[in-house]
Structure 1
Amino acid sequence: MSTYHSTRGGEEQLQSKQAIRRGLAPDGGLYVSDELDALTIDPASVAGLDYKGTAKLVLSRLLSDYSSGQLDSCLEAAYGEQWSDPAITPLVDLGGNDFVLELFRGPTSAFKDVALQLLPRLMALAGEDGERIMVLTATSGDTGKAALAGFADAPGTGITVFYPQGKVSQIQRLQMVTQEGGNLRVCAVRGNFDDAQSTVKSIFADADLARELGKKASTVLSSANSINVGRLAPQVVYYFRAYGSLMERGVIRPGDSVEFCVPTGNFGDVLAGYYAKMMGLPVARLTVASDRNRVLNDFLTTGVYDRNRPFYITTSPSMDILISSNLERMLYYMADGDTKLIVSLMADLESTGRYQVPEALLTRIRGLFSCGWADEDQVASAISDCWEDRGYLIDPHTACGYHVMAVQTGRDPAVPRVLLSTASPYKFPRVVCQSLGLETPDSDFECMDILAEATNTMPPKALRALENAPVRFQDCIDPGDMSDYVRHAVMQS
């Protein structure tokens, strides 16, 4: 049975339900399992499986204390009619041995749906009798809505979402502040995503607050961000499903290598690919695509992680991040579980805003991970080029990856490349319209209509309906007030 412990110490071993319930370890570390290389899956076994079958195969290993029946019921509810494509994550052939894995076919049109339609079901089974779980989430744009949609009116749970004021798209903000449900709160934070995420982490680490909420409200705090292993594990599934799709089409044979290019800011989406590799998937390379906030690109290039730099508001807001939480998990595995090193690196990050990994560790990391980045002009060109050359419409986050793939060198053309498409282009219609040289009015909804007519595509109904949805939440606070906001949300729920 797979067990989990903190990246910063292995003394306490938890089963997956306990790790999901907690979200973040008490010492500030992230939960990891040392048994991934013993949980291997024969790549040939995923051919012919549908998405739920693939998920059952993967998650029965990663979340082994959930019974077969529990997983079946969770998967049935998570991957049903709320998805616009029965394949859940369909694979699109771009030509030239390049493919796009569409991760935006869920109810909120972002890749976060893949995990956040499942996590509430997993969490409901992880809670203790008489206990309520309050989920805290900091979002750079997409996680918030996906978490709200997943947890809305879920029994035994509440959810509070914080987003950076003025630093998400109009559509992303409306998706959150119009969300229906009696167990949720949405609040803007003055600052950027890193301010919100760092404060949420400090709230999790506040032992006095935890005791107060437990005593007065029988409530524990947990996370829907990718720091929670219950968010990460479901993302491993779509790497195996992509591989299965390539086998079913005759593009590869079992055991053949595949490359993945992943637009990411918090490192969770690409970390799931690393988990898949450790579990036996033949991944030749994982390419990390960044926007102008290229802290990950610089780290993978130099071995120095340094958040002491300007923060840019870009056209890919969900990647506007300087503190990449899930990198800690990757460092743990690449360093062969050296918790003392992880503690030292994270202490340096906390005290100085930077750390440097040993040269040997960087060499090992770069044996699997490559990197690249795109500025806003390159993102716009990528959106235009992909439409003109491939007839395929992409959002600005996916465009970061498309650009990085276009300029990538040293590629074996016989090895398929899969680009993870993280959001519908209709979540960012103004950027896409501008990139295609179309008329770009101030209204995102007018832009949707212009984009639909020009490209003969259709916006997701839920996004188009936001124009007339009533706004429910207008709170805006400083980061220093977030703890009191959470306390009030728990006591009032």
Structure 2
Amino acid sequence: MEYLSTRGKFKRVSAAEAIRLGLSPDGGLFVPAQVEKFSREEIMEKKDKSYQEIASWILKYFLSDYSSREIEESVKAAYSEQNFPVEKVTPLKKLDNNRYILELWHGPTAAFKDLALQIMPYLLVLAADKSDVDDEIVILVATSGDTGKAALEGFKDVEGVKIIVFYPEAGVSRVQKDQMKTTGGSNTEVVSLQGNFDDCQNAVKEVFSDKSFKAKMEANSYRFSSANSINWGRLLPQIVYYFSAYFQLINDNAISEGEEINITVPTGNFGNILAAYYAYKLGLPVNKFICASNDNKVLTDFLKTGVYDIDREFKKTISPSMDILISSNLERFLFEMTEHDSEQINQWYKELKENNSFKIDQETLAKIQAKFVGQFSQEDEAKKAIKLCYQDFDYLIDPHTAVAFDSLNKYRDQSSDLTTAVIDSTASPYKFSRAVLEAIKNEKIAVDEYRIIEELKQLSGTEIHRAIKGLENMDEKHKRNCSKNKVKEELKDILAI
């Protein structure tokens, strides 16, 4: 298996090299050169396998330069009972006869990012060994909230690696901020940025594309990589849980073998839904992908019109991990939709840089719309969805999951498509307890975030996620702050160069 850059101006590389580099030196994203569909028989052979066995199967296909033993040992370590203390790593919960919630938040930080970021450090360290790189690897992360803590937890105290996380100062929840700022480890740094997530993401991308700055880093024995979903090693493990969900549906007699399902994903950066699309390319039977956005509905508008336009108001919402206007993984998706036409990708992204927008051709749009539907949920609608789900099903959902829940309901009302649907639940409701409790009680609550967590527990009778228990009493270890134009200077200070 070889990997290509979406910009087409860099050589083909191995999986290990793609993971080590993170972002292609030509500014593009790495994608598999070719994805072959598994046969139905091969897929169904896995329906009774454990999550770890399914993960090994998928990873071995894409990581052909890793040995079976390396992959199996990495999978065993990442998806241990200590990291995911539930019977199923990603349990599927039934709401009614054809709506199911896929709980992706049972990892160490209560967010779906754990499923990739618990295994990625193993893949990256192995990649460095395979590439004969002795320099220290510096992981740069831009986060809208959840990726940061999950990456910090995954890479904490990993030998030969330093991790530096940038997050928007006013763009994450209290719990998300506290989780990051209290992280221990001798190799972790956290920096709050004066700006929004797109500013963080653009700053990190600019560092990656600055050849002179990278040369200075390498002269000081540092090599950059990324733990964001721009890195194939972050995206790849997310393919696994879509197969796991499908097999759970079959084994619960919710669907028959080979029956198509709908998948609803709350997304801002398009990575989680792109992983579902790669599962489909491998042969997972999918009828429709419902791409769910919040008020920052750039993806909804794109899927309806073919126009990707970021020249709009950036809105801060109760689902902050989706407060994104520049969806990095859309580039990978368009590369796949155009049959790997890098010239077209370069043209569209040149237009985006110059004009803040681009428009795709009708043929590509029709191809996308055959499988993808864009829906969005406004803030008040997401709050109503939280309350509705709790009242009707006695089930707590966080604001991001609420966006997906509401978007699926809208799609069904408009299309009458009642295909069995899986809704990605991307975070524990306790990570966003204020928004959840205020939605259920339909009132503003003035007390401290951590008092709200206790009240939510008393109301619902559910257990507080272990990542949040005791968080308020932990010592703050990270106090760095910088402007969006001073990221390189901040890196120089952190790395003492």
State if a TM-score over 0.5 links the two structures: yes
What are the equivalent positions in structure 2 for 1:283-432 lying under 5 Å apart? 283-408=286-411, 409-413=414-418, 415-432=419-436
**Corresponding residue for 1:26?**
25
Residue-by-residue CA offset, 1:208-253 (whole Å, 9 max, x unaligned)? 111111112x211000000000000000000111111111112222
Answer yes or no: is 1:277 the counterpart of 2:280. Answer: yes
- 1:444 corresponds to 2:444: no
Q: Distance in 2 between matches of 1:434 and 1:306?
A: 33
Whether the 8 Å CA contact 1:102–1:421 is kept in 2: the answer is yes
Letter of the structure 1 residue corresponding to residue 16 of structure 2: K
- CA shift for structure 1 position 46: 2.2
Amino acid at match of 1:116: L
In structure 2, C-alpha distance between the alignment counterparts of 1:363 and 1:452, rounded to whole Å: 46
- Specify the SS of the correspondent of 1:436: helix
**What's the counterpart of residue 3 of structure 2?**
4
Whole-Å separation in 2 of the counterparts to 1:39 and 1:346: 33
Q: Please tell me the residue identity of whatever aligns with 2:478.
A: F
* Amino acid paired to 1:24: L
Shift of 1:39: 5.9
Residues 294-351 of structure 1: CA distance to partner in whole angstroms, max 9, x if unpaired?
Answer: 0000000110000000000000000000000000011001111111000000111111
Deviations 1:406-454 (A, max 9, x none): 12132433x3100000000000010001001077233111000000001
How far is 1:461 from its partner? Answer: 2.4
What is the match of residue 207 of structure 1?
Answer: 211
Task: Show CA shifts across 1:192-211 (max 9, x none).
Answer: 00011011001001111111
Distance 1:417 1:7, change over 3 A: same
Residue 26 of structure 1: SS of its match in structure 2?
coil
Partner Cα distance (1:281, 1:10) in 2:
32
Q: Which amino acid aligns with 1:118?
A: I
Q: 1:477 aligns with which of 476, 482, 485?
A: 482
Return the alpha-carbon distance in structure 1 between the equivalents of residues 51 and 104 of structure 2. 12
Aligned to 2:460, which of 455, 460, 463?
Answer: 455
Q: CA deviation at 1:165?
A: 0.8
**Matches of 1:418 and 1:326 in 2, distance apart?**
21
1:57 partner SS: helix
* Deviation for aligned residue 1:478: 0.5
What is the match of residue 111 of structure 2?
110
Deviates more, 1:161-170 or 1:204-213: 204-213
The corresponding residue for 2:196 is 192
The code of the aligned residue for 2:448 comes to S
Question: Separation in 2 of the partners of 1:266 and 1:185?
Answer: 23
Q: Which amino acid aligns with 2:390?
A: W
Alignment of 1:125-274 (within 5 A): 125-127=126-128, 128-216=132-220, 218-274=221-277
| TM superposition shift of 1:84 | 2.9
Give the percent of matched residue pairs that are identical in Structure 1 and Structure 2. 41
Measured in 2, the distance between the counterparts of 1:227 and 1:129 equals 21
Counterpart amino acid of residue 368 in structure 1: K
C-alpha contact 2:10 2:24 (8 A) present in aligned 1: no
Provide the C-alpha distance between the structure 2 equivalents of 1:4 and 1:489, rounded to a whole number of angstroms.
Answer: 32
CA displacement at 1:169 relative to structure 2: 0.2
Tell me the TM-score normalized by structure 1.
0.97
Q: C-alpha displacement at 1:36, in angstroms?
A: 1.0
1:486 to partner: Cα distance:
1.7
Q: Cα deviation per residue 1:435-480 (whole Å; 9 max; x = unaligned)?
A: 0107723311100000000111111122021110001111111111
Give the deviation of 1:35 after TM superposition. Answer: 1.3
Report if the CA contact (8 A) 1:140-1:317 is conserved.
Answer: yes
Cα distance change on mapping 1:54 and 1:364 into 2, 3 Å: same
Alignment-mate amino acid for residue 79 of structure 2: Y
In 2, Cα distance between equivalents of 1:341 and 1:466: 48
Asked whether the equivalents of residues 143 and 165 of structure 2 are also in contact (C-alpha less than 8 Å), the reply is yes
In 1, the alpha carbon distance for the partners of 2:335 and 2:141 equals 24
Alignment of 1:74 onto 2:79: no
Residue type of the alignment partner of 1:339: S
Structure 1 CA distance for aligned equivalents of residues 495 and 64 of structure 2: 31
TM superposition shift of 1:129: 4.4
Higher mean Cα deviation, 434-443 or 9-18? 434-443
CA contact (8 A) 1:56 1:71 kept: yes
2:56 matched residue in structure 1: 56
CA distance in 1, matches of 2:391, 2:463: 18
User: Where does structure 1 differ by over 3 angstroms across 4 or more consecutive aligned residues?
Assistant: 38-42
C-alpha deviation, 1:44, in angstroms: 0.8
Q: Which runs of 5+ in 2 are unaligned?
A: none
Q: Does the 8 Å contact 1:383/1:435 carry over to 2?
A: yes
Q: What secondary structure is seen at the aligned counterpart in 1 of 2:12? A: strand
Whether the 8 Å CA contact 1:40–1:278 is kept in 2: the answer is no
Alignment check: 8 A CA contact 2:148 2:180 kept: yes
Q: Which amino acid is 1:161 matched to?
A: V
Assess if the C-alpha contact under 8 Å between 2:152 and 2:163 holds in 1: yes
- Matched AA of 1:224: A
Tell me if structure 2 keeps the 8 A contact 1:263–1:400: yes
Match of 1:435 in 2: 439
Structure 1 residues 143, 393: CA separation in 2 closer, same or farther (over 3 Å shift)?
A: same
* Structure 1: unaligned runs, 5 residues or longer: none
Q: Is the 8 A contact 1:43 1:255 kept in 2?
A: no
Paired residue total? 489
